[in-house]
Amino acid sequence: MITTEKDDIIPIMDYVKADILNAGQLMVDDLIRINDEVVSIVDIISLSEGYVLEIVNDFGERDHVEVAEFDQFDLMILK
C-alpha cells in the first residue's frame, strides 16, 4: 500500500475566466485569452486608435498583436 503525505500532492491548476476587459483596461502581467490560447501581456504600446500588445504564451513564444481600443478580452486567473 502506498501512502502519501499531504505535502507530496501536486495540485492541478487550470485557467478560469474572471472578467471581461476592454483593451484600455489591460495591464502588464494580465493573463488573457486570444484565439483560444491563454497568454501573458509583457508590454502595452499605445497607438492613436488602439494598442499593440506584446504577449508570451506558456511555451515562451512572444508575439505582437494590434488591438482596437474597445476590443474585449477574457481575463483569466489560475485556480
pLDDT tens-digit series, residues 28-54: 999 999 999 999 999 999 999 999 999
CA dihedral 59, 65, 71, 72 (to 10 degrees): 0
Give the strand pairing for 72-78 and 15-22. Answer: antiparallel
Which DSSP helix (H) or strand (E) runs through 36?
Answer: none
CATH code at 23-78: 2.30.30.30
Q: What is the mean pLDDT of residues 1-25?
A: 80
Predicted structure pTM score: 0.82
**Environment class of 14 (CB within 10 Å of its CB; exposed 0-12, middle 13-18, buried 19+):** exposed
Helix (H) and strand (E) counts in the chain: 0, 6
Domain ranges of the chain: 23-78
